[in-house]
Amino acid sequence: MLKNVNRNIEVAICGLLTAAVLSAQTIHFEDTELRTNILQTADQYAESGDWTQAIMNYYALLYQFPDDSEAVVIHWKIVEMYKRGGQMTLAESNLRQVVEKYQNSKYEIENRLRLALFLYDMNRWEESLKYAYYQPEPPFKIIVAYNLIQLGEIEIADSILVMALEQTGIPIPIGTKIHELTVAPLKFPWYKKWGGFCMSAILPGSGRIYFGEYLDGTFNVAGFGALLGGTVYAANHQPQWFFYASAATIAYYIANLYATYQSAEKYFEAYKRQRYADILKEFPLADLIPLQMLY
């Protein structure tokens, strides 16, 4: 309990420091050695994983040297520390304030790129797409395309990547892979699809197990077994119920085939999503966006 309270106090202090540093400053220091020592100490805390102490020292540096030429880089480091500490709300709040504060500066584009990438990394693809879509610079086209891929809009993503290539003249590795999927869309392997249907035709429910729906498939197998057993029992012992038992068994059999069809479609959709995820993993978005290294 005490540990959590202390952590909350640290976060609150960091938040107050944010507001103080981003506001207008009137204090100026010229001690270069002091600046170097504070920065080195903050970086050491960052590299050791003590994000709270790192943030405190970064803020101390900004407070004492508000006009530092690398002030925006220090803000980026603070955002990174908040991210590593799991304080995503504070990280986003700080990043948005930096975007606002450093408009019309040489860091403006990179600030906006960092915000778009932050939203993307948080799996907030629609927000990242909406933000990046209205930015005019070519790197944002790549971010737009990645968000579209995550949202399943492959053809639109392909056209965006082609546009980005035309604007920059620089080949985008993922563009070739995505274009291949657009020209020759993924197809459901026939042996997989019909194999599942054949299994369900022979033993209702087994096809769903084949497609990974283990619980529902097992219940289907058990349900069909119970109905079939009841039908056989009715034929031998209660002929007046045989028609109804047979009708129920046939209806269940047909319904199972339809359920197997739906399972196949779900399986294929999951297969496509995994294929796209593998491509995105092969070509990480961060590797394609030119950002300054922090450490």
The tens digit of pLDDT for each residue in 83-139 reads 999 999 999 999 999 999 999 899 999 999 999 999 999 999 999 999 999 998 888
Whether 144 shows a pLDDT value over 70: the answer reads yes
Beta strands in 79-172 (DSSP E): none
Could you identify the residue written with the tokens 């593998």? 278
Structure tokens belonging to residue 13: 């202090």
Long-range contacts of residues 83-91, Cβ cutoff 8 Å, at least 24 apart: 83/118, 84/49, 84/51, 85/51, 85/52, 87/11, 87/14, 88/122, 90/11, 90/14, 90/15, 90/18, 91/118
Question: Is pLDDT larger for residue 163 or for residue 44?
Answer: 44
The alpha carbon of 24 is separated from its chain's Cα centroid by a whole number of angstroms, namely 36
Rg (CA), the chain: 29
Could you identify the residue written with the tokens 């304080």? 87
Whether 269 shows a pLDDT value over 80: the answer reads yes
Cα→Cα distances 184→81, 96, 154, Å? 43, 41, 12
Query: Where does the pLDDT of residue 294 fall: very low under 50, low under 70, confident under 90, or very high at 90 and above?
Result: confident
> Quick one: average pLDDT of 16-22?
51
Measured over the CA atoms of residue 205, residue 207, residue 210 and residue 216, the dihedral's sign is: negative
Q: Backbone phi, then psi, for 69, in 5-degree steps?
A: -65, -20
**Residues 283 and 145: beta-carbon distance below 8 Å:** no
pLDDT at 114: 96
* Assigned CATH for 1-102: 1.25.40
Distance of alpha carbon 227 from alpha carbon 72, whole angstroms: 71
**Residues 102 and 111: beta-carbon distance below 8 Å:** yes
CB atoms within 10 A of CB 109: 15
Whether 27 shows a pLDDT value over 60: the answer reads no
The tens digit of pLDDT for each residue in 31-51 reads 788 899 999 999 999 999 999
> Quick one: average pLDDT of 59-72?
90
pTM of the entire predicted model: 0.70
Whether 25 shows a pLDDT value over 50: the answer reads no
Task: Please provide the average confidence, as pLDDT, over all residues in the chain.
Answer: 86
CB burial of 239-258 (b: ≥16 within 10 Å; e: otherwise) equals eeebeebbeebeebeeebee
pLDDT at 250: 94
Query: Where does the pLDDT of residue 184 fall: very low under 50, low under 70, confident under 90, or very high at 90 and above?
Result: low
Query: Where does the pLDDT of residue 7 fall: very low under 50, low under 70, confident under 90, or very high at 90 and above?
Result: low
Cα→Cα distances 167→111, 128, 140, Å? 21, 21, 12
Q: Domain-by-domain residue ranges, the chain?
A: 1-102, 113-185, 190-281
